[in-house]
Amino acid sequence: MDRLYLEERKALLTTEHDITKSLDKWVLTLSGGALALSVTFLGELVTPGQIKSPALLYAGWFLLMVGVGCPLVSMYLSGRAYEKYRDIMDREHAQSGTHMWGPVREAQGRVWESKAIDPLALAGLLGFLVGMFLLGHFAYVNLR
């Protein structure tokens, strides 16, 4: 293959990996921070007997926990998928030598962990966004 093409492709894959990793970390950090702050300051903002629409609060907390949990599971599965990719590559290289890429790609396509990573990342991001919206709406209903 063309050397320039391979270099550009490698740079694009590295950038894609870095962006995904960064997004997971931000969602995890922001979801955890929002959850901790909302739990910490709830008692100072609203007295327990006067809470209006507690379902908004509980749903918001649940979705922020999704925003924390999904990126963690996604990161774990990413590591497992790469571990399996490496094992597949090593096995095929030992069996086939240099003509291994067809079987390697076919076997790597069957690694279920790699198929779960993107949906988990999206679920974490949506959990964070919708959870923040619900907590904002809860605050609006209770503080006006």
Taking the domains of the chain in order of start, what are their residue ranges?
3-81+114-143
Q: What is the per-residue burial (b if ≥16 Cβ within 10 Å, else e) of 63-101?
A: bbebbbbbbebbbebbebbeebbeebbeebeeeeeeebe
**Helices (H) and strands (E) in the chain — how many of each?**
4, 0
- Greater pLDDT, 36 or 144: 36
At residue 123, does pLDDT exceed 80?
yes
Confidence of residue 31 (pLDDT cuts 50, 70, 90): very high
pLDDT of residue 67: 95
Confidence of residue 98 (pLDDT cuts 50, 70, 90): low
Q: Is 11 left (phi over 0), alpha (psi -120 to 50) or beta?
A: alpha
Mean pLDDT computed over every residue of the chain:
88
Confidence of residue 135 (pLDDT cuts 50, 70, 90): very high
CB 61 within 8 A of CB 131: yes
pTM, to two decimals: 0.81
At residue 1, does pLDDT exceed 70?
no
Confidence of residue 140 (pLDDT cuts 50, 70, 90): very high
